[in-house]
Chains A and B, each alone.
Chain A
Amino acid sequence: MIGRLLAALLFCHGAQAAGVVSLNLCTDQYLVQLAPEQVAALSPLARDPSLSVVAAEAARLPWVRADAEAVLKLAPDWVLAADWGAQTTLQALERRGVRVVRSALPEDFPAIRVETLRLARLLGVEARGVALLAQMDATLAQVVPGPALAATVLEPRGYTAGAGSLADSVLRAAGLRNAGMGRRQDLETLLAHPPALLVMTDAPAYPSLATDFLRHPALARLPTRHLPPASLVCGGPWSADAVRALAP
């Protein structure tokens, strides 16, 4: 009797609609842009408009915590994740025979092209991937670089974008020179040696000391360009919009 009940329960779980589970904010955005119909669940961060460019779509899709049991209950066809974060969860899933695809999270435009096509093929929507890249290239082609100003991308807590980061690629694509070193910058040094242009993503809606730093009155005097909050979080075809917003 109990055995039959258990079997029924297990069968119920196994019979739920399958699809792809994404456990990383960046792969969430790829998955939603490439194949929203295949989403079994996204990470909860995907719904945060200050972190995700697909927050509106993600709000209508299911989400799951990075927890092996919760993911197994969804019985996904496969799981999309990153090289870092939640690795113990991913290993537990792989031990249970779930296929896990890890994305290297591209930080520049050549890598974005490669990753978009790879994920599109894995999802069986190659044409969609090609279309997204064509749109990205059209946006990038519109950008006419101005004078190569020294720009510093200032992130919460005063971190700056270093060489090889996504923000660095976006600056260079917009014709700017990255003056940040990837180190943490205190306000005093920044004011003593101000860059020609300060780039900040709009602080998210929730209060924190980290984002309070960006609102310090002493920064108000410096020439600043604001980007939408989620635009520099993850590299993807949408990163072209940040380049267009920065170009003169």
Chain B
Amino acid sequence: MSGNAVDEQMVLSGVSVAGTNEFGEKDDRLHNVNLTIAPGEWLYLVGVNGSGKTTMARLLAGLYEENLMGTVNRGFAGESASPIVLQQPKAQLFGESPREEVRFALEWRELAPGSVKARTAEALEMTGLTELADLPWEKLSGGQLQLAAIAASAASRTPLIVFDEVTSMLDDANRKIVLETAEHIHRSGSAVVWVTQRLDELKPDFRVAALAGGRIIFDGNVRKFLYGETGHDSLCQSSGLRVPYLATLAMQLRQLNQLQDPLPVTAEEWRKVMGHFAGADSTARYT
């Protein structure tokens, strides 16, 4: 590991992580992975359980060192570990309230004593927790607990932050808020790795890397990943993940020549094409 320039890319080349399977046979958790992340980039990392995405997420956060082969140059992310937000709030909240949590996280970073208070307030503001900052965990919802963990992770303004399936136990409303908060952190300059199994979280024209069996099977544009190209099967099916309702519908409509590429992904794009099927009158109510 060398190089520490803020504008240098993070590069994984020929990385394998050895592991063993049920029968004691050699079974790599990651196999010959090549991946590059640019400073300030947003990367979706998708794959089913056991595809190696958790190993990958920890590796990108700078935590995984055992049984590692190949080279990892963390570039802009620096030598020290990057914060990682996990699925279960219970494993990653150490304080008793959002404010205490953020303060605990900041105490371990090299900051001037005076700036901790201001930084704490800032992180709480960014996650929308200012008003709830002093409530105990029992009074917060699952989504708010995740926001507190995000606030604690984002408070130290690291160049990279990893979200490992943080929305898997959240309802749609909480999921949206958590996603928007991550996007806010991204806009403020941090690179974001968003690990998920739920393909309906993916936004088009972003980059997605799909893992299956420890290998990267796709690295490219989300729309291409979801829908493939005309005449070709969707690539997301080969990742083993469940294809969401709307993506299936879009591909079926394409097959019946009712829709042409580029197929819709976002709500706005769907609203536009819905005009064809449902008439302008009905779509107007949704905008």
A and B: interacting chains: no
Point out residues on A near B: beta carbons under 8 Å. none
